């Protein structure tokens, strides 16, 4: 399907990104014989080592990410680059806020950079980790920001190569997992939550599920045994659910909690933190492994040279993080993989398929909640 992806990018580049143009590209590709486009054909047919990577990819240099295709004819050099990101909350506005950065990338790289939108007459921003990963695997997405756990899935299943992390002048961005409760509740310690309802984010979320399952049992609180787990579908929904009393508590990523504070979506005095973890890396920005080496170098350098203006940094909720740091997946994601190993939650296709189903169900619940809940109440 890479042919279709590149064809559609070319059509969009020439004629624009309006719905009829996208539909023409999609219908043309669907009319072609599918047998001509096997997934990642020839990408890693002669591979001596791939580690945890899907069979479509190879890791001969053993750095835990997919190698580029060995033959230059399989490198991609699209005239229009498709970008996406998963901010974990407020997806619609995030795309708008990112516009100045995408304009910078277009000028720096020397080719058009557009934000990925779902197909259809009324396209929406890409809804979550699984949709992003499938889009990159199929060749429809060239650059993407993934969540912490989503990064590991994207590396193993979609040929994503992490290359940048938000950071300051002195360090790359990290976060802690916090267990939050309402400030007026009686809960003061993890042991107080036995028998209660606690919102985890998704099954594969590092901060919102795997870390609690790895750490809490040794602290006397076992998920599913000592409390009822419900999946909210997002950190923002977990946080708002604690605020409204829908959930008794929730493990959430500290950087997302702080971002919502800065945007005045929540108030600090409405919550109490009763536990927090050691630091973990935040999500990474990753490239598709089969982009041409020259294009890959240009994209990396443009990211590393960029400095977020103060206003844009505030709008994106980046705190003091005004730049990008180089990402090293093997090193920076080691604690994330260790948590996954300790909870028997591998970043493989079976786990991804389960997560995809749960993400779809959570998205349907969110849409139902949006239809039945007044907008002012959603945003409080």
Residues 301, 160 share a domain: yes
Residues 162, 307 share a domain: yes
Looking at the 3D structure of the chain, how many domains does it have? 2
* Nearest of 264, 261, 265, 237 to residue 250 by alpha carbon: 237
Highest-scoring range by mean pLDDT, 40-44, 203-207, 346-350:
346-350
Residues 198, 73 share a domain: no
Residues 302, 338 share a domain: yes
Question: In the chain, pLDDT over 70 holds for what percent of residues?
Answer: 79
Would you state the pLDDT for residue 236? 93
**Residue 233, pLDDT above cutoff 80:** yes
Would you state the pLDDT for residue 45? 66
Q: 3-class DSSP state for residue 125? A: strand
Please state whether the predicted TM-score (pTM) of the whole model is above 0.75.
no
Average the pLDDT over 221-230 and give the result. 97
Tens-place pLDDT, residues 268-284: 999 999 999 988 888 89
Residues 299, 265 share a domain: no
Tens-place pLDDT, residues 314-360: 888 888 999 999 999 999 999 899 898 888 889 999 988 887 887 77
Residues 114, 181 share a domain: no
Q: How confident is residue 87, by pLDDT bands cut at 50, 70 and 90?
A: low
Residues 202, 321 share a domain: no
The domain in which residue 202 lies consists of 177-277
Among the candidates 252, 277, 302, a domain finishes at: 277
Within a domain: residue 359?
A: no
Among the candidates 228, 249, 277, a domain finishes at: 277
Residues 87, 153 share a domain: yes
CA separation for the pair 371, 380 (Å, rounded): 16
Within a domain: residue 370?
A: no
Within a domain: residue 363?
A: no
Residues 93, 150 share a domain: yes
Average the pLDDT over 50-61 and give the result. 96
Residues 219, 157 share a domain: no
**Residue 368, pLDDT above cutoff 80:** no
Residues 251, 113 share a domain: no
Q: What's phi and psi for 310, nearest 5 deg?
A: -55, -45
CA separation for the pair 140, 317 (Å, rounded): 28
* Residue predicted with more confidence, 34 or 350: 350
Average the pLDDT over 176-199 and give the result. 97
Would you state the pLDDT for residue 95? 75
Within a domain: residue 378?
A: no
Average the pLDDT over 357-376 and give the result. 67
**Residue 9, pLDDT above cutoff 70:** no
CATH code where residue 90 lies:
3.40.190.10
Residues 298, 265 share a domain: no
Among the candidates 277, 301, 316, a domain finishes at: 277
Under a CB-based contact definition with an 8 Å cutoff, are residues 192 and 295 in contact? no
Within a domain: residue 211?
A: yes
**Residue 39, pLDDT above cutoff 60:** no
- Per the prediction, the chain carries an average pLDDT of 84
What is the four-CA torsion angle of 238, 188, 196, 178, rounded to 10 degrees?
30
Would you state the pLDDT for residue 315? 84
Within a domain: residue 259?
A: yes
């Amino acid at each position: 399907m890479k042919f279709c992806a590149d064809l559609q990018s070319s059509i969009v580049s020439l004629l624009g990104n309006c719905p009829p143009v996208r539909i023409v590209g999609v219908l043309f590709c669907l009319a072609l014989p599918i047998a001509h486009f096997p997934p990642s054909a020839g990408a890693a047919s002669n591979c001596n080592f791939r580690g945890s990577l899907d069979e479509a990819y190879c890791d001969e240099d053993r750095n835990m990410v997919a190698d580029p295709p060995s033959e230059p004819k399989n490198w991609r050099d699209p005239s229009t680059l498709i970008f996406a990101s998963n901010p974990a909350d407020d997806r619609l506005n995030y795309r708008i806020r990112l516009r100045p950065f995408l304009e910078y990338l277009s000028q720096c790289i020397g080719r058009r950079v557009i934000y990925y939108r779902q197909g259809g007459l009324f396209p929406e921003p890409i809804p979550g980790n699984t949709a992003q990963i499938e889009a990159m695997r199929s060749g429809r997405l060239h650059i993407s920001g993934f969540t912490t756990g989503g990064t590991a899935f994207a590396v193993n299943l979609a040929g994503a190569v992490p290359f940048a992390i938000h950071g300051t002048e002195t360090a790359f961005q990290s976060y802690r997992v916090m267990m939050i409760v309402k400030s007026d509740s009686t809960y003061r310690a993890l042991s107080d939550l036995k028998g209660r309802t606690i919102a985890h984010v998704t099954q594969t979320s590092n901060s919102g599920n795997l870390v609690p399952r790895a750490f809490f049992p040794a602290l006397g609180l076992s998920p599913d045994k000592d409390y009822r787990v419900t999946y909210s579908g997002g950190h923002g929904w977990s946080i708002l659910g604690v605020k409204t009393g829908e959930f008794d508590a929730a493990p959430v990523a500290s950087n997302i909690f702080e971002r919502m504070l800065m945007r005045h979506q929540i108030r600090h005095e409405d919550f109490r933190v009763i536990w927090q973890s050691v630091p973990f890396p935040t999500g990474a920005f990753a490239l598709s492994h089969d982009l041409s080496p020259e294009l890959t170098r240009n994209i990396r350098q443009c990211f590393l040279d960029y400095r977020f203006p103060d206003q844009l940094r505030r709008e994106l909720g980046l705190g003091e993080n005004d730049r990008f740091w180089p990402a090293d997946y093997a090193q920076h994601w080691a604690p994330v993989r260790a948590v996954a190993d300790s909870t028997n939650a591998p970043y493989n296709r079976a786990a991804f398929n389960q997560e995809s189903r749960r993400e779809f169900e959570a998205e349907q619940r969110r849409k139902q909640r949006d239809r039945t809940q007044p907008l002012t109440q959603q945003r409080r």
